[in-house]
Structures are given as structure tokens and as C-alpha cells.
A and B are shown apart, each in its own frame.
Chain A
Amino acid sequence: MNTPSNLKYAKSDEWFDPASGKVGITDFAQSQLSDIVFVEILVDEGEDVTAGKPIASVESVKASAEIYAPASGKVAKVNKGVVEKPELINSDPFGEAWMIQIDGGVAGDLMDSAAYEKDSASRAH
């Protein structure tokens, strides 16, 4: 499982990049969900988001999940690419499959990569 060390992680499996403000879901999350077929971003550009509130919804072949904001701030950008190609979440969760970008985001209660690795491993089955 890939867990880049420059990112911060939420217990609910979102990542946040403090440098760019980008948000997505983790490699662990995509592997649990399996083949993702639909993404809906629930917030618009310019909207304020609060850490812990839903920002997106994803559906795979067998599961569905709500994605929560790992940080608070204003949505600078929504990634239309991932909406058009949901399978990007499976192939490139930390890259092309970012979902939104938050301007001046204030991170919520997040873990570093080592802590997240430990936490997610304990939930794997």
C-alpha cells in the first residue's frame, strides 16, 4: 500500500496535501472499495468547506462511500477529470485522482503517513 509521507491523513481515509491544498482518497481506501464507477463532488468552486463534512460521494461495483473534507477552507478548484474518469481513483489515487483543492486550508485532526499506515493496517481484512 502506498502512503506518501508528504501528505496528511484522516481516519476516514482522505488525504490532504498541505503544500497544494489538494484532497483525495487513499490507496487503502480505493483498494477497499474496489473498482470505482462513479464520483460526485458535492461542493462547488468558491464554496466554504468544513473539516469532517461531506465533500464527495463515490460508488464502486460493490460499495459506496461518503468522502469528508480533511481540512477547512474555500474550495479553489474541483477536479472534473476524476468525475469523468472515476477509475483514476483506482489507478492514481494520490495523483490525477485528487478531488478538490482547498485554498488556505486549515487541516482537521489528521495523521502523518506512519500513523495512518498503522491505523489502516489494523482495519484491513
Chain B
Amino acid sequence: MTFIPTSPAETEAMLETVGVKSLDDLFDAVPKKHRFPKLNLPPALTEMEAAAHLSDMASSNENVRQDLVSFLGAGAYNHYVPSVVDHMLRRGEFYTAYTPYQPEISQGTLQAVFEFQSLMANLTGMDVSNASHYDGATATAEAVSLAYAQYRGKRKRIVMSPALHPQYRDVIDTYTQGMGVETVGDEETNLTLSPESLTSYIDENTMIVIVQYPDFLGRIFDYKKIIDEAHAKGALVCVVANPTALLMLKTPGDMGADIVVGEAQPFGIPIWYGGPYLGFFTTKKSYVHKMAGRLVGETMDVRGQRSYVLTLTAREQHIKRERATSNICTNQGLLALAASVYMSVLGKEGLSEVANLCYQKAHYAAKELSKLKGFKLFSSEPFFHEFTLQCPKPASEVNQYLLDHGILGGYDLGNDYPELKNHLLVAVTEMNSKEEIDALVEVLKEM
């Protein structure tokens, strides 16, 4: 009866009001044969015991703050989260509220989401943002759904860069199983080709072109040309962007992208063994009716006060049902708040400092590592805070050696690209001190 406030006497009184003799009598509609199964679960722990048990489980992991030095990124990044962020998230007024269906008593959530939409649109250089998606991968899959709906299912081709995050490509494959579409471009094994080589796949049947910025191997390309080519064929272009990189880089909006999505975990959300994270979705105003997910719009209440409501809800599943573009209902509300507080409390200058630290440290690491015998950078393209390092041995062996020295080396690209089995994807953020970078270099030197 851990969190049940009702006393035995109250229980009796309530049963009498209902007109049944016992609690079990409430369940006569349940088939007798299966009623009241004996559950084989461990006995209940008190709060004190549960806290100790979970603490044990947590400490049996090796974490990247106390136990390991980490250069692992590949879609989840270890950043500093200012203290204010969690203080705000821990306010029960935010985290114990539901989706703001009743705007009169949900203005806190609604204005916070409106501000999140505004921050993301400003960051990506787009017109509008929705209230969030489950993560970067599902946001990308929803971009495909937008394009599919935009062309009413008449265009059937997805052109996808091979340097789009492999898990994002997997999720798109899963999501599109019922659409009868084809995916081309990502089977290319020559990863040194420029992204413009994708244009040969874009035809009049193409609904969307998907590229990543910086790409999965860390390279920064200006996608303007490919975007123009796609537009010439009537296709939409979705850019999957890293939000920390966008603090420094030319915006995809500036390049003419139609949709900019991505993973906003780097903005105030712990790496948390993979989730929950925060998918963002921004687009041009002309596609807003085809965009999935909740949207907050500004309005006025009967007293003349500026206020906010969920708007264009007739696009969504609860009204449009099987004709809705997406089934999304619950999204990542609280984490959108985390990202907003993160951006607000660091502000323009603080955020630029984060981006610059990432950039500087990654470049220092790349420079030092490529001085080592047998190591060199895979590409001479510009990069931001992640780069591909060619190693003298399989990346799996390098990683094992580093782990023995307390270092998480990077992402083994051989997992997804057999031809890159000697390559590590190395991420460096503001969390990595010069000392840590030097230690990485030192350990590898001795390997």
C-alpha cells in the first residue's frame, strides 16, 4: 500500500457506498479462471532499501564522469549542464503536469514550449518548430512522413546520404515499411565521395533528400548545391543537424533546407544511457499543416491577456485519426524545457563559448593524434567537434586497449561501414581537458 492514502475504515465506507462487500468483488467482469494471478515478483522494498539497491546497480556501471575518460559521441554527447537546468526540471509544477489540454491552467508549460519552438527556429534558421519528437532518429523518420504526405504518396523515392547516422537510417527503414517507398543513395561504400554525388539519385519521383550536418563522420559540407538540385526536381531536403554545431555553423535555413531536424540531447540533457532525449523538428511555414506533433501558438484570453494554446490540433491523431500524418501523442515535453533553460541560462555568449571550446579541443586532439605514427585523419574536410581517425589497427582493438587504460576511445566505424574497420569516430567536447586529450595521445603512442 505504498502510495495509497486510504485507511481500512475508509475502505469499508467506500465499499458500502459502491454496494459491494470486498475489493475483490469489484472484478466480477474479469474471467474467473484468470482472475487474481499470483505474480512471481520480488517482495516490496521500502524507500530506503530501494534507494540502496538502485544505488548499487548504478555504481556497478563505469560512468564517464568518475570512472572513464570519454571520447565517445556518435549521436549522444557529454556536455556540461548548468545547475539551473535541473533545478527547473525538478519543479513539480512542470514535471507532474500533463500535456497542456486545459490552457487556462497550463500557461507555464504552454509558454515554455512556445519559447522552445522560438529558440529552435532561431537556431536552425527556419520559420517554425514543433513541440518535440521522441528523438533525432524518429524526428528524421517523421520528416519522411511529411514529404510523403506533401506529395500525397505520389513520390516514392527517398535519397539518403550514406553518412547519415546508421541508427537513423535503420529507424527510417522500420518506419517506412508500410509506405511502399524505395531508399537509395545510402548503399554507397565509397565514403570519400562528395555529397554532390547524391544528386545523381534525385529524380522526379524523389520526395525527400536526407543529409546530416556535420555528417556522421564529422565532416562539414555546405549543402546549398544539393538543395538547389533537389528543388529543381521538386523534392524536399531534410538536414539532420547537431544543435551544438549550429551555434557556430551557417544555418541549414540559410542553405535553403525545407526541414531541419536533429537530436537536442546536447542541450542540457544527460547522456542517460541513451534516453530519453529530445528530437527537434523545424520547417518552413508552408509545410506546417503537414508537420507532425504538437504546436503551441500565441493568442489572447477573454480578459485580453496574451496567452498560448495548442493549435492546429485537427492535424493530429485525436481528431484526424487514421488520416493523420503521424500517431504521435506524448512527446518529450519536459526535455524541451531542459533545452530551453539550457539555452537561456548560457545565453548567446555562453553558448558560443561552449561551441568554441568543443571546436578548439577537437582540433587540438585531431592535430596531436594525427602526429602519431600510423594515425591520420580520414578526411581533410572541415569538422566541428567530431572527426574520423584512421588507425593502424582495427578500431575494435584500439578501443579495447584504450579501455584497459580507462579511456572510451570513440565509436568503432567498422560496426556500420566494413571498409572503415580501422577507423574511430572521436568526439571531443568542453568536458575533455587538455590533460585528458594528452593522456589519450600518450596511451596511443605506446600502443
Q: List the interface of chain A (C-beta within 8 A of B).
A: 37-38, 40, 42, 57, 59-64, 66
Q: Which of B152, B314, B315, B320 contacts A42 (CB 8 A)?
A: B152
Q: B residues within 8 A CB of A60?
A: 314
**A59-B312, A64-B315 given; 15 more Cβ-contact pairs under 8 Å:** A37-B314, A38-B289, A38-B312, A38-B314, A57-B323, A59-B315, A59-B319, A59-B320, A60-B314, A61-B313, A61-B314, A62-B313, A62-B319, A64-B319, A64-B320
Chain A binding surface, main DSSP class? strand
Closest 4 CB pairs of A and B: A59-B314, A64-B314, A64-B320, A38-B289
Contact with B289, one of A59, A62, A63, A66 (Cβ below 8 angstroms): A59
Residues of A within 8 A of B312 (CB): 37-38, 59
CA of A7 to CA of B420, assembled, Å: 69
Q: Which residues of B contact A59 (CB under 8 A)?
A: 289, 312, 314-315, 319-320
Chain B residues closer than 8 Å to A57, beta-carbon distance: 323
Instruction: Determine chain B's interface SS by DSSP, over half rule.
Output: helix
CA A42 to CA B152, docked complex, whole Å? 8
Contacts of A64 in B (CB 8 A): 314-315, 319-320, 323
Q: Measured between alpha carbons, how far is A60 from B315 in the docked complex, in Å?
A: 9
Chain B residues whose C-beta falls within 8 Å of the C-beta of A63 in the assembled complex? 314, 319
Bound form: Cα–Cα A63–B313 in Å: 8
With both beta carbons as reference points, the residue of chain B lying nearest to A59 in the complex is identified as: B314
Interface residues of B in 309-339 (CB under 8 A from A): 312-315, 319-320, 323
- Determine the chain A residues whose CB is within 8 A of the CB of B313 once the complex forms: 61-62
CA distance A85 to B314 in the complex (A): 17
B330 smallest CB distance to A (angstroms): 21
Residue ID in chain A nearest B289 by CB atoms: A38
Chain A nearest CB from B57 CB (Å) reads: 47
Cβ A62 vs Cβ B152 within 8 A = no
> What are 5 A-B pairs at a CB distance below 8 A?
A37-B314, A59-B319, A59-B320, A63-B314, A64-B315
A13 to B314, CA, bound (A): 19
Residues of B278-317 whose CB lies within 8 A of A: 289, 312-315
- What is the minimal beta-carbon distance from A43 to any residue of chain B, in angstroms? 9
Q: Cβ of A62: which chain B residues have Cβ within 8 Å of it?
A: 313-314, 319
A30–B113 Cα distance when bound, in Å, is 31
| Chain B nearest Cβ from A100, distance in angstroms | 15
Give bound CA distance, A61 to B289, whole Å.
12
A40 surroundings in chain B (CB, below 8 A)? 289
| Closest chain B residue to A40, Cβ basis | B289
Who on chain A is nearest to B309 by CB?
Answer: A61
Closest B residue to A60 using CB positions: B314
Alpha-carbon gap, A57 to B312, bound state (A)? 14
Scan residues 136-153 of chain B and give those whose CB is less than 8 A from a CB of chain A: 152
Residues of B within 8 A of A37 (CB): 312, 314
CB A93 to nearest CB in B, in angstroms, measures 18
CA–CA, A95 and B273, complex, Å: 59
CB neighbours (8 Å) of B320 from chain A are 59, 64
Chain A nearest CB, measured from B286 CB (Å): 11
State the Cβ distance, A90 to closest chain B Cβ, in Å.
Answer: 14
Chain B residues near A61 (CB-CB < 8 A): 313-314
A57 to B149, CA, bound (A): 12
Q: Is the CB of B323 within 8 A of A66?
A: yes
Count chain A CB atoms within 10 A of each CB in B314, B315, B320, B323 and give the residue with the most: B314
In the complex, A59→B313 CA distance in Å?
9
Q: How far is the CB of A38 from chain B (nearest CB, A)?
A: 5
In whole angstroms, how far apart are the Cα atoms of A64 and B289 in the complex? 12
A44 to chain B, nearest CB (A): 9
Q: Which of B375-401 contact A (CB under 8 A)?
A: none
